[in-house]
Structure 1
Amino acid sequence: MTQPDITIYDIAKKLSLSAATVSRALNNNPAINAKTRKRVNDMAMEMGYRSNNFASNLRKGNTHTIGVLVHELKSNFITSVLAGIEKVTTEAGYDIIIAHSSERKEKEIANAHNLFHKRVDGLIASLAFDTENLDHFDPFFKKGIPVIFFDRVFEHTDFAQVIINNYRAAYDITSHLAKQGCKRIMHVTASLERNVYSERFKGYQQALKDNKLNYDKDLLITNQLSEEAGIQAAMQILAMRKRPDAVFVSNDFCAAVLMRTLQDNGVHIPKDIAVAGFNNDAVGKIVSPKLTTIDYPGIEMGEITARNLVNHLQGVSNLALTNKIIIKSELIIRESTLKKKPSQK
């Protein structure tokens, strides 16, 4: 049979103390002498007492809990963002509740409502592929609960957000491919409804234009950037009568799968087709040739996002005055795109 929770009244009865004395002792109140505090804490441990910090904080008007809603968990980038968030929130004395949408707006909506009813003090969110609006965050906005978005955001809104310059990053990687002599540069990406992919697409298009290359709609593939999607994209390339000489993929893992599939079918990388990814995941250093990519600083993004939210909660700053924070990214050139010798101009 499950034993009922031990209360401060049980400890007080055991030690012949008042409940108020036990409560103060458990909270290390200096009004209670050290000997009594030790007696109370020792007995609490012996009896299996668990403090209810949630209820205590709730009475004070907060829970010291921050909700984190992400679009997936099996991503090196998201893992690094979560590490950054956890570092800052732990140092500030906040717990976090993590929920993920599995790239589905229905699950994102349900999780947002769930986190709201768990009374989180604030929310950090990155949107799913198919999220169409921010209506499900209205309960937070109406209650004055701060929300800050990162990575996947809605453009042209006044809500606080932390992003990189996806347009510039895609422009740089496409220009690099053009400077390697590539003329038919394919772009493999995800839903253009999401800011990260639409901005990368725009940067890709502008780089083609500035390098006097024509945009060809047949060289655009939109998919889920999964393992299966990487294989399918590679097979689509292999079936083309006029293949691309370079492929820029909006995700390192998908790029690595695509590259391996091409190689398994006799394509030489980068001699026949140069391949570039995005995010600087660990897989890019393992594959051969090593993958050219964009360094997307996930840990820093997590730390900056969490710090801005915590500062707001602690009254240090006001998120209402923050619209957009842009973190620097960097092009990392590796062997997968080097068609020219380093000495060649």
Structure 2
Amino acid sequence: MEQTKDITIYDIAKAVDLSPATVSRALKDHPAISKKTKDKVTKLAAELGYRANNFASNLRMQRTHTIGIMVHELNSNFITSVIAGIESVTTAAQYDLIIAHSSESYIKEAANARNLFHKRVDGLIASLAYDTTDFTHFTPFERKGIPVIYFDRVETGIAGTKVVIDNEEAGFKAVEHLLQQGCKRIAHVTGNLKRNVYADRLKGHQRALAAAGINWNQSLLMENDLSEQASIDAAHAIAAMQPMPDAAFVTNDFCAAICMQTLKEKGIRIPQDIAFVGFNNDSVAKIVEPGLTTIHYAGFEMGKIVGKNMIDRLLHPGQSPIDTTITLQSDLIVRGSSLKKMV
């Protein structure tokens, strides 16, 4: 099929016998142009299938009005709620979003960063992949003065604004609750401890034990990739322990739900034989039986804070602190999976 030539403002100007400058102003709803002229121009533009070349216009202004977002996954209520929070702010400021996800791969994350850099995004928002230990793919943004804001999964050693929750305090709350239920031998199932979120949740677990006068038992720590198979394997490992733990703090709701289901299939009762606390308050926490006690932190609120900080950096360069950490609080949502004293 033969492609038709793109319609330009010069084509419209010739058809309505106006200057290209007048047509351009009319299409931008400029107050100096009469309503009659605007209506005439916009009607013809629609009939001819005119498309504004925003990309070329933005490049002339050295700005694309786009913000890149890099996340480690998309099948998470938390991540989607963060993106929704970001979008609620950026849309109001007339910025578009380009979303890329790494599928928990450093290699893909680095490729996404290069791609977004070459797409000339005005700013970058990122939550780090599971295995990211090299951060040089963010260097081009820093050199160009492109603001970078990290959320949730961050690295303290690199420059940029960071928006996080107090993961250590959240871990403390989770384990303190299990201790209050009479649990003493508490397994810890977690992701890569090189990531701040998992390392800090473990610190909270250990602090809660210390406060209760209980020594940390390294044999109860299981570090994996939190996938379905890893969750099944963790459940089998828990069931094989002698004695079996009387509770488990699992730092991801999906992993906790799979662990619970696998143990139930072995005839192990929850919470009577082993109590569970998860993390994130994903939808699965409400669906699994019994309901999963978990840590809730407001993704939408985090997204709004991330978005506002990014827009502030873009609209008022040099006025906002570049290297700062904003810490949000979280809540323990208690459901049946942890209530040993109620059964």
Greater mean alpha carbon deviation, residues 248-257 or residues 30-39: 30-39
Cα distance in 2 for residues equivalent to 1:340 and 1:316: 55
What runs of 5+ residues in structure 1 fail to find an aligned partner?
Answer: none
Partner of 2:116: 115
Secondary structure at 1:289 match in 2: coil
Q: How does 1:246-257 map to 2 (within 5 A)?
A: 246-257=247-258
Q: Is the 8 A contact 1:186 1:219 kept in 2?
A: yes
Runs of 4+ in 1 over 6 A off after TM superposition: none
* Shift of residue 212, structure 1, vs aligned partner: 1.8
Residue matched to 1:154: 155
Alignment match, 2:278: 277
Q: Quote the residue 1:238 is aligned against.
A: 239
TM-superposed CA distance for 1:105, in Å, is 0.7
What amino acid is the match of 2:268? V
Aligned 1:86-125 pairs, distance under 5 A? 86-125=87-126
Residues 114-165 of structure 1: per-residue CA shift (max 9 Å, x gap) = 1111111111100011111321111111111111100000024442100000
Q: What is the TM-score normalised by the length of structure 1?
A: 0.96
Aligned length: 342
1:214 aligns with 2:215: yes
Q: Is the 8 A contact 1:169 1:294 kept in 2?
A: yes
Partners of 2:321 and 2:105 lie apart in 1 by: 28
CA distance in 1, matches of 2:167, 2:279: 10
Using the alignment, how far apart are the partners of 1:29 and 1:306 within structure 2? 29
Task: Find the counterpart in structure 1 of residue 165 from structure 2.
Answer: 164
Q: 5 Å matches for 1:113-152?
A: 113-152=114-153
Distance in 2 between the 1:238 and 1:174 partners?
20
Letter of the 1:335 counterpart: G
Q: State the alpha-carbon separation in 2 of the partners of residues 103 and 94 from structure 1.
A: 27
User: 2:84 aligns to what?
Assistant: 83
One-letter amino acid matched to 2:260 = M
- Partner residue, 1:258: 259
* 8 Å CA contact 2:26, 2:37 repeated in 1: yes
* 8 A contact 1:309–1:319 mirrored in 2: no
Q: In the alignment, what sits opposite 2:184?
A: 183
* Secondary structure, counterpart of 2:342 in structure 1: coil
CA contact (8 A) 1:291 1:336 kept: yes
Q: Matched residue of 2:187: which SS?
A: strand
Helix, strand or coil for the counterpart of 2:192? Answer: coil
Query: Structure 1: how far apart are the matches of 2:31 and 2:242?
Result: 80
Q: Which amino acid aligns with 1:28?
A: D
SS in 2 for 1:320: coil
Pairing 1:292-303 to 2, within 5 Å after superposition: 292-303=293-304
Q: 1:311 maps to which residue?
A: 312
Any conservation in 2 of the 1:146–1:319 contact (CA below 8 Å)? no
Contact 2:81 2:303 in 1 (8 A): yes
Any idea what SS the aligned residue of 1:163 has? strand
State the identity %. Answer: 58
The two structures, once aligned, show a CA RMSD in angstroms of: 1.5
Distance 2:39 2:25 in 1: 12
Query: How has the CA–CA distance of structure 1 residues 307 and 341 changed in structure 2, closer, same or farther, with 3 Å as cutoff?
Result: same
Range that drifts further, 310-319 or 168-177 = 310-319
d(CA) in 2 for partners of 1:293, 1:135: 35
Structure 2: unaligned runs, 5 residues or longer: none
Asked whether the equivalents of residues 160 and 319 of structure 1 are also in contact (C-alpha less than 8 Å), the reply is no
Residue aligned with 2:321, SS: helix
Deviation at 1:223, TM superposition (A): 1.1
1:107 Cα offset (Å): 0.7
CA distance in 2, matches of 1:313, 1:122: 7
Contact 1:121 1:146 in 2 (8 A): yes
One-letter amino acid matched to 1:72: E
Residues 159-189 of structure 1 show CA distances to partners (whole Å, capped at 9, x for unaligned) of 2100000001001111111121111100000
Partner of residue 287, structure 1: 288
Q: How does 1:325-340 map to 2 (within 5 A)?
A: 325-340=326-341
**Which position in structure 1 is the counterpart of 2:64?**
63
TM-score by length of 2: 0.96
The residue number in structure 2 matching 1:21 is: 22
Report how far residue 4 of structure 1 moved: 2.0
Measure how far apart 1:321 and its partner are.
4.8
2:46 aligned residue: 45
